[in-house]
Structure 1
Amino acid sequence: MPNIILVGPMGAGKSTIGRLLAKELRLPFRDSDKEIEQRTGASIPLIFDVEGEQGFREREHVAINELCQIDGVVLATGGGAVLRADNRQVLCAGGRVIYLCTSVEQQLDRTSRDRNRPLLQAPNPREILTNLMAVRDPLYREMADIVVQTDERPPRLVVVEIIGQLQALAPRESLGRSALS
């Protein structure tokens, strides 16, 4: 089974949908940000404070390289993982890439109370998200095998859509028992 790699902006639902998708497909779930936190013993905001975004991106690159070597996992990536060309190559080679697409409005709603988003700890988060989307959306789309809209949709419905689209791309046998029923 190829890996299923979720990309998209913060607040798109990569972690939530990834966990549900992994459970449905009976695959392990991994989150690159959580891996970095476990390896360093520090939160993402603390890493940003101490090492800056560049230091975090280096750690992210190492984690993504290692996680993409594992077979048969659902992997949620950080929103900025696609900024590095070498990350994009590793992710595309590492499995099926699914872009969880969401609006800036939905991102604001989903992240407004989350203090673990270092890039949003600024006076105008809407402007930041809009600027990030302008740069990152073309990268997400360029590498995606599947694009799924998550705005105002229950995560379980998004999972059903992803499984349906994965089945259209690959032989049914490769998607696990529960995905076929």
Structure 2
Amino acid sequence: MLFLSPDASRPADGWPAAPARTPEPAPAVSPVTAELTRATDTPLYPLVFIGPMASGKSKIGRRVARTLRVPFIDTDKDIVAAHGPITEIFARHGEEHFRELERAAVAAALQRERAVVSLGGGAVLDPATRDDLRRATVVSLSTTADAVRNRTKNAKRPLLAAGPDAWQRIYDERRPLYEALASIHFDTSTRPVDAIAADIVKWVRKQS
């Protein structure tokens, strides 16, 4: 997995900057190593975004799709369109039912031969989805609890209701899955959305 560390750029597009912190150094990865992380027989599309809640998967994925001139699919929005608000699904039917709906939406989205797809943070919990992602190009996004706190002050997300500590716990539990599935990784804590999207597009074009 290729890891691209954040720079000191001020975020744009309404993303407040995380409080000042000393970033941990990213492991050095050579371009040759990066090329070897993606199997040559893996199709370039679908290009799938995974990562924790509020890491920017939809916002960045939409920009990447627009630049590449391919359709963009947000599986959470597909679920809402078909079944109503996610908060209500959780409240009325529980998380297990939501995961069943999510699996169906993800399976349908990943059938698209040429598209950018954004998955919900917990989609990787499903073993069948993980199997599907091994046959796709996967962009993993990460962020920090401080950045999420600033981005989601008014957001209605069931699994964020308990606050940033709960977000961190959930992220820590899922992080190994994100890392194992990723073809490439980007940190979105502080960099501008457009800059991250541009870097992803540049990387995708090098793979084609």
* TM-score bucket of the superposed structures, by smaller chain: 0.7 to 0.9
Q: Name the counterpart of 1:55.
A: 97
Which amino acid letter does the alignment assign opposite residue 172 of structure 2? A
Q: How does 1:20-169 map to 2 (within 5 A)?
A: 20-40=63-83, 42-93=84-135, 95-115=136-156, 117-122=157-162, 125-168=163-206
Of Structure 1 and Structure 2, which has the larger fraction of its residues in helix? 1
Which amino acid letter does the alignment assign opposite residue 161 of structure 2? Q
Residue 7 of structure 1: how far off its partner (Å): 0.3
Between the two proteins, the alignment pairs up a number of residues equal to 165
Cα distance in structure 1, aligned partners of 2:141 and 2:153: 19
Cα distance in structure 2, aligned partners of 1:85 and 1:114: 28
Residue 38 of structure 1: how far off its partner (Å): 1.0
4+ residue runs of structure 1 moved beyond 3 angstroms?
A: none
Given that 1:64 and 1:91 are in contact with CA atoms closer than 8 Å, whether structure 2 keeps it comes out as no
Q: Counterpart of 1:18 in 2: which secondary structure?
A: helix
TM-score (norm 1): 0.87
Q: Does 1:9 align with 2:49?
A: no
Deviates more, 1:106-115 or 1:5-14: 106-115
Give the % identical residues.
35
- Cα deviation, 1:123-165, whole Å, max 9, x if unaligned, reads xx12111111111111101000010111111111001111222
Which amino acid letter does the alignment assign opposite residue 167 of structure 2? L
Which amino acid letter does the alignment assign opposite residue 91 of structure 2? D
Larger radius of gyration: 2
Cα distance in structure 1, aligned partners of 2:196 and 2:95: 31
Which structure 2 residue ranges, 5 or more long, are not aligned? 1-43
RCO greater where, 1 or 2, for CA within 8 Å and sep 6 or more?
A: 2
Which amino acid letter does the alignment assign opposite residue 49 of structure 1? A
RMSD over aligned Cα atoms? 1.2
